[in-house]
């Protein structure tokens, strides 16, 4: 790394120290996650590195735990449920969160801060309290142990993420464009889909991805509300750790890490694109 000539010695030391600290924090966060990748290829049913693995013996590595995922009906049901519940929860959270963010962005909206605080409460209140409250409430409605109940619960948890990302996208939105569209005779629905949505689309998609990840990784609410038929991947992993430790859990964890990384890269791409849209580069 080259520094400008006017940089002093201590400024250079500080820059190098900052870079080393950043790499150290990254390693602290990533190494515990990345270590599960080689362990998921262990030919033995252990959660430790065997002597053969440390010696890079080909026979010590195997794909059988990944094959176990496909051959096990419980894991396949959990995967299907995770995507099914996550998809519909994301759709509901995205619609509600986007509309709420647009409404709260209106300067004439009364009690904006109080309403925003209430809408963001699922992110603030401890999840165990939220799950317990949902359990007692949904039990009265007959939604406990049903797909609809789990979907609505996950949608409630994902909506705050959509509100935050869409609200951030609206921070640079020029509302005179909306007024001009309405003034020229366009209907509110036409203005929304053809004027507002193209400019805030990166924020909406980012919020939807956050909502999907929230649903996909959630386990506490599932423990309270889901029945045997609504078992998701985190719930199945939790059961596997309690009932029978099996390296299949590591294989599933690797797949979840890959999915999470792809989603994070997508979110970062959308964030950069949204920034370009706000600055007029796109």
- In tens, the pLDDT along 232-279 reads 988 888 887 776 677 888 888 888 888 888 888 887 787 777 666 666
CA nearest 169: which of 104, 223, 111?
104
Q: Is the pLDDT of residue 280 over 70?
A: no
**Residue 246 contacts by C-beta under 8 Å, 6 or more apart in sequence?**
45, 65, 68, 240
**Cα–Cα–Cα angle for 223, 125, 131, nearest 5°?**
20
Contacts of 51 (CB under 8 A, 6+ apart): 60
pLDDT surpasses 70 at 81: yes
pLDDT at 46 over 90: no
Share of the chain above pLDDT 70, in %: 93
Window from 2-6, 70-74, 101-105, 140-144 with minimum mean pLDDT = 2-6
CA distances from residue 3 to 9, 15, 164 in whole angstroms, order as listed: 10, 9, 37
| Residue 16 pLDDT | 81
Give φ, ψ of 42 to 5 degrees. -65, 130
- Candidates 119, 110, 206, 204; CA nearest to 160 is 119
Given a cut of 80, whether residue 221 has pLDDT beyond it is: yes
Q: Look at residues 234, 218, 212, 231 and name the one whose alpha carbon lies nearest to residue 93.
A: 212
Report which of residues 11 and 257 the model is more confident about.
257
Spatial contact of 204 and 55, defined as CB atoms under 8 Å apart: no
Average pLDDT of the chain, as a whole number: 84
| DSSP per-residue codes, 42-57 | BSSS-SS--HHHHTT-
Residue 113 has pLDDT above 90, yes or no: no
Grouping H, G, I as helix, E, B as strand and the rest as coil, residue 61 is: strand
pTM of the complete model:
0.81
Whether 57 has a pLDDT exceeding 70, the answer reads: yes
* pLDDT score of 192: 82
Mean pLDDT of 19-24: 91
**What residues contact residue 68 under an 8 Å CB cut-off, 6+ apart?**
75, 246, 248, 251
Number of neighbouring beta carbons within 10 Å of residue 22: 10
Q: What is the pLDDT of residue 120?
A: 87
For residues 207-212, average pLDDT:
90
List all residues 6 or more positions away from 251 whose beta carbon is below 8 Å from its beta carbon: 40, 65, 66, 68, 69
Q: Taking 70 as the threshold, does the pLDDT of residue 132 lie above it?
A: yes
**How much is the pLDDT for 2?**
59
Please report, for residues 55, 63, 75, 88, 229, the alpha-carbon distance to residue 146 in angstroms, rounded to integers and kept in the order given. 49, 35, 19, 14, 8
**What average pLDDT does the segment 191-210 reach?**
84
Contact 190, 159 (CB under 8 A): no
What is the rounded CA–CA span in Å between residue 168 and residue 44? 49
């Amino acid at each position: 790394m080259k520094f400008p000539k006017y940089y002093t010695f201590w400024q250079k030391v500080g820059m190098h120290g900052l870079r080393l600290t950043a790499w150290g924090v990254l390693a602290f966060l990533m190494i515990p996650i990345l270590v599960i990748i080689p362990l998921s290829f262990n030919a033995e049913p252990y959660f430790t590195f065997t002597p053969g693995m440390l010696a890079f013996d080909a026979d010590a590595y195997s794909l059988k735990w990944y094959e176990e995922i496909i051959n096990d009906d419980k894991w396949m049901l959990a995967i299907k449920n995770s995507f099914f519940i996550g998809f519909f929860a994301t759709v509901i959270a995205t619609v509600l969160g986007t509309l709420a963010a647009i409404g709260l962005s209106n300067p004439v909206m009364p009690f904006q801060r109080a309403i925003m605080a209430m809408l963001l409460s699922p992110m603030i209140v401890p999840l165990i309290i939220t799950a317990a409250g949902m359990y007692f409430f949904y039990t009265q409605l007959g939604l406990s142990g049903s797909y609809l109940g789990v979907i609505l619960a996950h949608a409630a948890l994902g909506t705050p993420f959509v509100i935050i990302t869409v609200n951030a996208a609206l921070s640079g939105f020029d509302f005179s464009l909306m007024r001009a569209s309405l003034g020229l005779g366009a209907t509110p629905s036409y203005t929304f889909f053809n004027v507002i949505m193209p400019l805030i689309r990166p924020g909406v998609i980012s919020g939807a991805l956050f909502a999907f990840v929230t649903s996909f990784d959630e386990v506490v609410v599932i423990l309270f509300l889901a029945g045997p038929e609504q078992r998701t991947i985190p719930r199945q992993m939790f059961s596997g750790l309690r009932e029978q430790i099996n390296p299949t859990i590591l294989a599933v964890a690797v797949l979840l890490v890959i999915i999470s990384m792809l989603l994070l890269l997508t979110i970062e791409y959308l964030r950069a694109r949204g920034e370009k849209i706000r600055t007029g580069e796109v």
